Homo-oligomer: A and B are copies of this chain.
Amino acid sequence: MPEWAFRCYVPGMTDARRPAKKAPMREVLAEAAFQLFLERGFEQTTVDDIVARAGVGRRSFFRYFPSKEDAVFPDHERCLADMTAFLAEAVDLEPVEAVSDAARLVLRMYSANPVFSVQRYRLTREVPGLRTYELSVVRRYEQTLAGYLRGRYGESDDGALRAEVIAASVVAAHNNGLRTWLRSGGEGDAEAAVDHALGMVRRVWGSGAAGSAATSSADGDVVVMVAAKGAPMWRVVQQIESVIGQD
Contact = CB atoms under 8 A, between A and B. Distances in A.
Contact of A228 (B220, B228, B229): B220
A172 B176 contact: no
Nearest to A240: B236
Contacts of A175: 164
Nearest to A177: B161
Given A222-B229, A240-B233, A165 B201 contact: yes
A173 B169 contact: no
A92 interface: no
A56 interface: no
Count copies of this chain in the complex: 2
A230 interface: yes
Given A136-B132, A225-B225, A226-B222, A200 B161 contact: yes
14 contacts: A131-B136, A158-B200, A161-B200, A164-B176, A168-B169, A204-B234, A204-B237, A205-B234, A209-B232, A217-B229, A221-B230, A224-B225, A229-B244, A233-B241
Given A161-B176, A165-B172, 13 more contacts: A135-B135, A135-B136, A160-B176, A161-B197, A164-B173, A165-B176, A165-B200, A169-B169, A220-B228, A221-B229, A221-B230, A223-B226, A227-B240
